[in-house]
């Protein structure tokens, strides 16, 4: 199945408007960067030529040594029969992380004005050494994630009219028609089982075979672990793999805060902090930091040594648990506790929408799954997978505390829309309608460590 991505319109907007900037598309491996760029350029009938630095490593010294754009194009012409036409040809350089200085040199390429440039790659927050001095005024940054739930709905041919109806219910807080709600919850459970990695979603849409999806996720995991060995020192490879492999078991616990003692008894955060930051910067994990108080700005209340860790794709999480977990999700097995899976999916959706993730925990009050900045206020979010979604003592306590001045809270669960005072209950699939105020804050914020 050919999948349409929301970010395609942003690439088209760059084609139409940002003639004085290059485009940099960042994201974890296998989220669809290369395919999406090709798809948009082809659909817009753009003349483009593509070079992959991983497949053609001999291009890296060429990029580094070229003194002019004409010299660069002359060198490129050795590797392609494509005709370069000034003011028309777009040069697409993929796997740009193989040239650590490329982003800092983009100014000279853009200033020349002869050609337009698209850069794409993974591990950019790790491999590009001059990131802090990168000429961001010459770059338009686009961060790609796995498909969110709304994009996943293509597999069921859900119409734009139905999505608009659901969005209006979200905004007006009106109950969703029972038949529609049931259909969306069934699709959401499919999303939990399949996830948003484009290859897995396309495979499911074409074959409806979960065994094939398990293998796709295993192959992607193998690629991630290959990156651990290729891009990190030997003494860090094992800890990276151990952290990554421990996330599924950590999410099965009632307290889902990442516990270092599960890796090694007596381990201190300072010794392994760089490994956690590596996984986050590579885009393979998502981090929710502890906020010591649910007050604005949350960044000032951040305690970065306390955090919850999620996989970047919920389908890869459920694959790590095995086929029985996927089967229990799809059959709505009431004995199955899917709390950690639901929470991972919500973290994934919020991250894709530009939210920086926090959670709040107090020994006196308890824990809030997430707190985010939304509409100029702190928004507490609870995620529930069972029928007791109206029981949330920590959330109720925080809402009663006048010093926090919290206007409302959302509970996302397997339920229809309702409210109780300032607490609004939404079906969990409606996380797709949350949107951060600034969803394109730029590279330094997107991959901030």
Q: How high is the mean pLDDT of the chain?
A: 91
Tell me the whole-structure pTM to 2 decimals: 0.92
Structure tokens at 258: 């990442």
DSSP string, 375-405: TTEEEEEEE--SS-TT--HHHHHHHH-GGG-
Count of CB atoms situated within 10 Å of the CB of 226: 11
- For residue 132, the model assigns a pLDDT of 45
- Chain segment 224-244, per-residue pLDDT in tens: 999 888 766 777 888 999 999
Q: CA 399, 404, 405, 410 torsion: positive or negative?
A: negative
What gap in Å lies between CA 75 and CA 65, rounded to an integer?
10
- For residue 442, the model assigns a pLDDT of 38
For the chain, state the CA radius of gyration: 23
What gap in Å lies between CA 103 and CA 107, rounded to an integer?
8
Q: Where are the domains of the chain?
A: 8-144, 149-446
Q: Which residues of 234-256 are buried (b: 16+ CB within 10 A; e: fewer)?
A: eebbebbeebbebbbebbeeeeb
- For residue 103, the model assigns a pLDDT of 78
- Chain segment 56-73, per-residue pLDDT in tens: 999 999 988 998 999 999
List the one residue out of 389, 368, 384, 366 whose CA is nearest residue 431. Answer: 384
Structure tokens at 53: 């630095």
| Residue 328 pLDDT class (50, 70, 90 cuts) | very high
List the one residue out of 207, 179, 183 whose CA is nearest residue 194. Answer: 207
List the one residue out of 45, 40, 46 whose CA is nearest residue 10. Answer: 40
Domain at 8-144, CATH homologous superfamily: P-loop containing nucleotide triphosphate hydrolases (3.40.50.300)
- For residue 106, the model assigns a pLDDT of 85
- For residue 444, the model assigns a pLDDT of 32
- Cα 131 to chain centroid distance, Å, stands at 20
- Chain segment 76-116, per-residue pLDDT in tens: 999 999 999 999 999 999 999 888 888 778 888 999 999 99
- For residue 374, the model assigns a pLDDT of 96
- Cβ atoms 406, 294 nearer than 8 A: yes
What gap in Å lies between CA 403 and CA 140, rounded to an integer?
41
pLDDT of 441 over the 60 cut: no
| Residue 130 pLDDT class (50, 70, 90 cuts) | very low
- Chain segment 4-22, per-residue pLDDT in tens: 999 999 999 999 987 889 9
């Amino acid at each position: 199945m050919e999948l349409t991505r929301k970010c395609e319109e942003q690439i088209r907007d760059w084609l139409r408007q940002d003639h004085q900037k290059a485009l940099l598309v960042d994201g974890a491996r296998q989220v669809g960067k290369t395919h999406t760029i090709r798809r948009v350029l082809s659909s817009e009938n753009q003349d483009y030529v593509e070079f992959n630095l991983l497949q053609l490593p001999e291009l890296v010294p060429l990029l580094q040594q070229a003194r002019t754009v004409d010299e660069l194009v002359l060198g490129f012409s050795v590797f392609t029969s494509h005709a370069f036409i000034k003011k028309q040809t777009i040069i697409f350089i993929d796997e740009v992380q193989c040239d650590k200085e490329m982003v800092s040199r983009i100014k000279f390429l853009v200033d020349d004005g002869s050609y337009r440039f698209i850069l794409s790659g993974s591990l950019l927050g790790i491999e590009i050494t001059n990131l802090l001095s990168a000429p961001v005024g010459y770059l338009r940054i686009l961060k790609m994630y796995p498909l969110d739930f709304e994009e996943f709905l293509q597999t069921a041919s859900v119409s734009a009219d139905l999505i608009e109806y659901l969005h209006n219910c979200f905004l007006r807080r009106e109950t969703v028609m029972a038949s529609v709600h049931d259909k969306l919850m069934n699709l959401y459970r499919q999303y939990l089982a399949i996830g948003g990695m484009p290859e897995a979603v396309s495979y499911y849409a074409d074959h409806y075979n979960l065994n094939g999806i398990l293998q796709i996720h295993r192959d992607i995991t193998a690629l991630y672990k290959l990156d651990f060995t290729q891009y990190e020192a030997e003494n860090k490879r094992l800890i990276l793999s151990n952290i990554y492999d421990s996330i599924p078991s950590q999410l099965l616990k009632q307290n889902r805060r990442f516990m270092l003692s599960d890796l090694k008894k007596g381990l201190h955060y300072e010794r392994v902090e760089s490994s956690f930051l590596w996984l986050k910067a590579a885009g393979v994990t998502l981090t929710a930091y502890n906020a010591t108080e649910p007050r604005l700005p949350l960044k000032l209340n951040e305690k970065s040594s306390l955090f919850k860790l999620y996989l970047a794709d919920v389908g890869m999480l459920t694959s790590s648990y095995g086929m029985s977990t996927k089967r229990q999700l799809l059959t709505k097995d009431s004995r199955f506790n899917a709390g950690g899976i639901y929470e991972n999916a919500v973290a994934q959706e919020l991250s894709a929408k530009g939210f920086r993730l926090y959670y709040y925990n107090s020994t006196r009050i308890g824990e809030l799954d997430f707190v985010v900045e939304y509409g100029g206020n702190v928004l507490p979010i609870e995620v529930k997978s069972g029928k007791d979604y109206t029981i949330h003592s920590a959330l109720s306590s925080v809402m009663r505390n006048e010093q926090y001045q919290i206007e409302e809270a959302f509970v996302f669960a397997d339920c229809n829309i309702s409210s109780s005072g300032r607490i609004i209950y939404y079906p969990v699939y409606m996380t797709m309608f949350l949107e951060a105020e600034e969803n394109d804050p730029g590279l330094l914020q997107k991959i901030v460590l």
